[in-house]
């Protein structure tokens, strides 16, 4: 522990964010970061705990506590303080293939489990991670390192989201010949088109993909396996196949008037927005324009927040975000102790921007849609919403909801974005490879395993575990790679944690 009194001497400090009204004028990342000396002080705040909950990645009451990648956080926090940036990078890369992604989009499970956070502010681990990886690029030691020996074994990875990229990266380092197939026109999957540019600028993805190409990974875009390319061809051409196609079926809202014009799934809205931005800086008009329109977003999670921020940047007249659940408390409840994930109110960037622009939080809690209102031409004009009451069922102990009597009302809406989550893998892919799925339509494997019922076919990421975080996808990709490697070589020296 380089600075035993660091957590006493230094307060938590993170970089600044551009003001909400200012950042609404563009689609770029809007955070600035601390200068090097200040960042080193943040590394000094780490207590080097004997039991580092920050890197535990264990499940408590159904929620993850600490980093699922088991990042060696106390080690590289201390190395940041010591100014040994290269060794900090080496320790970080030992467990995390893509810190350039996680340091931008991860909700920082590590910080929620930080011991410093028990009685004060947690260590700014996420920004320390960002400083390490960007320093590595700046100094040149994040450059390509192709494997010195090739095994001759060929592996196809279907899907280039975080799990697919992690799996490909690991297998390539082992010396296997890896080809990644992506159905879209750009590599990145969820990272490219599911996460807006203001959270993750796409040149960051391209930068890493170029390095992976230099290391020998082959990327094939515009290849929709199961449609454009037969699964049988992939199975014949490769020794192993890993399915990393994501959880791609958006959950729908079944209510009268659902066929109204102006209702979109959030994933389609965000994808069209990012593609138009990258293709033409919106000049092609191939995006869902919210300018001057009343926008209602159904769903209170991260995707719903991304829709808020995106709609506002296009000049929405109003934005309302509907959330079925009650508003979370501002502070931990007594039944939600550390180191559990804190179930507290989170006001994210999109909501901050709406508050700055309209003077109030866009979220309406304990509310759902009862009907979509349309005009005689089928165009959406409003949404009939109703309040919800939540109470515990005396027999099952579960919470159940009922409509609040007299709470119905209609709010104006020309555009509705459904951000209600996803429901497992897409049938045409699982049918093409003849893999079994479970009751949630996730690809079925043995417990703690990634091999499917089909010989030489594996599955990882959201397609395997269901909709989850980028860090979990990376972990699944790494673990699947190790299992694939063992099946090819009889053993594996790939590190998982």
Asked if 244 and 301 sit in the same domain, the reply is: no
- For residue 254, being part of any structural domain is answered with no
Q: What does the pLDDT look like over 224-233, one tens digit per residue?
A: 999 999 999 9
Question: Is residue 401, in this structure, part of any structural domain at all?
Answer: yes
In a domain, 463, yes or no: yes
Share of the chain above pLDDT 70, in %: 100
Identify whether residues 78 and 172 lie together within a single domain.
Answer: no
Nearest to 42 by CA among 87, 91, 2, 99: 2
Q: Could you tell me if 270 and 410 lie in one domain?
A: yes
pLDDT (mean) for 174-190: 97
Q: Within this chain, do residues 130 and 180 fall inside the same structural domain, yes or no?
A: no
- Phi and psi at residue 92, in whole multiples of 5°? -65, -45
Same domain, 406 and 268: yes
In a domain, 185, yes or no: yes
Evaluate if residue 46 carries a pLDDT over 90: yes
Q: Over 80: is that where the pLDDT of 448 sits?
A: yes
User: What pTM, to 2 d.p., does this model score?
Assistant: 0.96
Q: How confident is the model at residue 2 (pLDDT cuts 50, 70, 90)?
A: confident
Q: Are 186 and 225 within one domain?
A: yes
Q: State mean pLDDT over 390-413.
A: 90
475, part of any domain: yes
Task: Return the ∠ at Cα 474 (arms to 264 and 26), rounded to 5°.
Answer: 45
d(CA 409, CA 430): 42
Q: Which of 418, 433, 467 is the last residue of a domain?
A: 418
The mean per-residue pLDDT over the stretch 270-287 comes to 98
DSSP for 181-243 reads EESSSSTTTIIIIIS-TTTS-HHHHHHHHHHHHHTT-EEEES--BTTTB-HHHHHHH-SEEEE
Task: Return the C-alpha torsion angle 97, 101, 107, 110, nearest 10.
Answer: 30
Residue where a domain terminates, one of 418, 433, 468: 418
Q: Is residue 368 part of a domain?
A: yes
Q: Which stretch of 14-28, 45-59, 123-137, 304-318 has the lowest confidence by average pLDDT?
A: 45-59
- pLDDT score at 394: 79
Number of Cβ atoms within 10 Å of the Cβ of 10: 18
pLDDT category of residue 399 using cuts at 50, 70 and 90: confident
The answer to the question of residue 255 being in a domain is no
Q: Which two tokens stand for residue 343?
A: 């179930």
- Mean pLDDT confidence for 333-343: 93
pLDDT for residue 497: 63
pLDDT in tens, 204-245: 999 999 999 999 999 999 999 999 999 999 999 999 999 999
Q: What is the pLDDT of residue 449?
A: 97
Is the domain of 308 the same as that of 403? yes
Q: Residue 393 — pLDDT band, cuts 50, 70, 90?
A: confident
Q: How confident is the model at residue 455 (pLDDT cuts 50, 70, 90)?
A: very high
Domain that holds residue 123: 6-139
How sure is the predictor about 114, in pLDDT bands with cuts at 50, 70 and 90? very high
In a domain, 496, yes or no: no
Handedness of CA 79, 130, 160, 163 (dihedral sign): positive
Q: Where are the alpha helices (DSSP H) in 323-396?
A: 349-358
Average pLDDT of the chain to the nearest whole number: 96
267 and 392 in a single domain? The answer is: yes
Do residues 355 and 241 share a domain? no
* Judgement on whether residues 44 and 131 belong to the same structural domain of the protein: yes
**Which CATH number covers residue 302?**
3.50.50.60
214 and 291 share a domain? no
Q: What is the pLDDT of residue 248?
A: 86
State the total domains in the chain.
3
């Amino acid at each position: 522990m380089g600075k035993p009194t660091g957590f006493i001497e230094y307060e938590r400090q993170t970089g600044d964010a551009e003001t909400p009204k200012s950042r609404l004028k563009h689609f770029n990342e809007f955070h600035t970061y601390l200068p090097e000396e200040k960042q080193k002080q943040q590394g000094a705040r780490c207590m080097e705990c004997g039991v580092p909950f920050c890197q535990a990645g264990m499940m408590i009451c159904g929620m993850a506590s600490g980093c699922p990648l088991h990042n060696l956080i106390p080690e590289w926090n201390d190395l940041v303080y010591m100014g040994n940036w290269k060794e900090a990078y080496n320790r970080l890369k030992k467990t995390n293939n893509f810190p350039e992604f996680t340091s931008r989009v991860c909700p920082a499970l590590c910080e929620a489990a930080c011991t410093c956070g028990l009685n004060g502010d947690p260590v700014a681990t996420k920004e320390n991670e960002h400083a390490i990886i960007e320093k590595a690029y700046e100094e040149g030691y994040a450059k390509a390192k192709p494997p010195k020996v090739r095994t001759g074994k060929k592996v196809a990875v279907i899907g280039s989201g975080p799990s697919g990229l992690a799996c490909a990266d690991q297998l390539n380092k082992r010396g296997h010949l890896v080809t990644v197939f992506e159905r879209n026109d750009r590599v990145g999957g969820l990272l490219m088109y599911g996460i807006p540019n203001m959270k993750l600028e796409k040149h960051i993805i391209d930068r890493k993909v170029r390095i992976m190409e230099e290391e020998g990974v082959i990327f094939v875009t515009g290849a929709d396996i199961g449609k454009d390319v037969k699964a049988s061809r992939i199975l014949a051409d490769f020794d192993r196949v890993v399915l990393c196609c994501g959880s791609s079926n958006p959950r729908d809202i079944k209510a009268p008037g659902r066929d109204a014009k102006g209702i979109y799934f959030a994933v389609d809205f965000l994808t069209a927005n990012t593609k138009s931005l990258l293709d033409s800086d919106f000049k092609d008009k191939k995006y869902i324009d919210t300018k001057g329109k009343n926008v209602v977003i159904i769903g209170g999670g991260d995707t719903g927040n991304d829709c808020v921020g995106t709609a506002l940047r296009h000049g929405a007249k109003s934005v309302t975000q509907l959330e079925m659940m009650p508003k979370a408390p501002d502070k931990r409840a007594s039944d939600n102790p550390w180191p559990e994930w804190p179930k507290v109110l989170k006001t994210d960037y999109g909501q901050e921007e709406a508050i700055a622009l309209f003077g109030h939080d866009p979220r309406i809690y304990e509310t759902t849609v009862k009907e979509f209102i349309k005009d005689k031409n089928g165009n959406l004009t409003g949404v009939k919403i109703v309040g919800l009451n939540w109470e515990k069922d005396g027999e099952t102990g579960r919470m159940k909801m009922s409509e609040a009597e007299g709470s119905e009302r209609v709010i104006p809406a020309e555009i509705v974005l459904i951000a209600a989550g996803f429901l497992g893998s897409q049938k045409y892919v699982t049918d093409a490879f003849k893999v079994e799925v479970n009751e949630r339509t996730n690809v079925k494997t043995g417990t703690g395993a990634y091999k499917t019922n089909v010989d030489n076919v594996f599955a990882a990421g959201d397609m395997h575990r269901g909709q989850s975080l980028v860090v979990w996808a990376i972990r699944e990709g790494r673990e699947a790679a190790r299992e694939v490697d063992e099946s090819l070589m009889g053993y594996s020296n790939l590190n998982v944690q």
